[in-house]
Amino acid sequence: MKRRLFLQVPLAATFLTLNAKTEANDRIDRGFKVDAGKDRFNQELSTFGGTFTRKVSSKDTNGDLCMYDTVRKEKGGPGLHYHHDQDEWFYVIRGEFLFQVGDQKFTLKAGESAFGPRKIPHAFARTSEEEGQMLVMFQPAGTMEDFFMEASKISVGISKDFEREFTALSRKHGMEVVGPPLKYK
C-alpha cells in the first residue's frame, strides 16, 4: 500500500505541474489599452437599459475575471439575483444607485463601491435623474461574457416571453433570479 502511494504522489504532482503550466499559457502575456467608450473587442452591447463595454475579457485572464463599463441610460436595474460561482463588484463613476446585497441596502454615489459575494442575492437600480455609469467586475468570469452577448439579443424588442427567456438564460449562465427589481422613489 505504501509503495502504491509512493508511486502515485509523483504522478499526481507531475499532472498538477503540467496543468498549471497549461493554464498559465492560456493567459495573455502583454498589456493592452482599451480607449474610453470602446469595448475590448469592439462589440459594445445594449441591453437592460444601458450599454456594456468590456474592458477586461475572460480571454485575457484565463477566466479569472472580466470587467465591464456600463452606462445606465434608464432608471432601474435587474431583478434580485445571485451567481452560483461569481463574486461581483460594482464601482460607481457617475450618477446614484440603490444597491441591495442580502438584506443590506445602500445608496452609492461616484467613487463608492459595493461587493456582491457569490450565492448572496443582490440587485441595483439607477435612481438619479442623470445617466449613471459603473464598472462591474465578475470573479471568476465564468460565462458572463456569453450571458451579456445572448441577453443583448433577447432584450431587443422585448417579447411577451422575455421574463421566461431571461430566467432560462440566467440559469444557463449560473445565476438564479429570486426577486423583482428594486423599488425606489
pLDDT in tens, the chain (185 residues): 565 554 454 444 444 444 444 444 578 889 999 999 999 999 878 877 789 999 999 999 999 999 999 999 999 998 999 999 999 999 999 999 999 999 999 999 999 999 999 999 999 999 999 999 999 999 999 999 999 999 888 765 555 666 788 889 999 999 999 999 999 97
Contact indicator for 86, 108 with CB cutoff of 8 Å: no
Edge-to-edge order in the sheet of strand 79-83: 104-108, 97-101, 122-126, 79-83, 175-181
Beta bridge partners of 54: 68
pTM for this structure? 0.81
| CATH number for domain 45-178, candidates 3.40.190.10, 2.60.120.10, 3.40.50.970, 2.40.50.140 | 2.60.120.10
The structural domains of the chain, with segments of one domain joined by +, span: 45-178
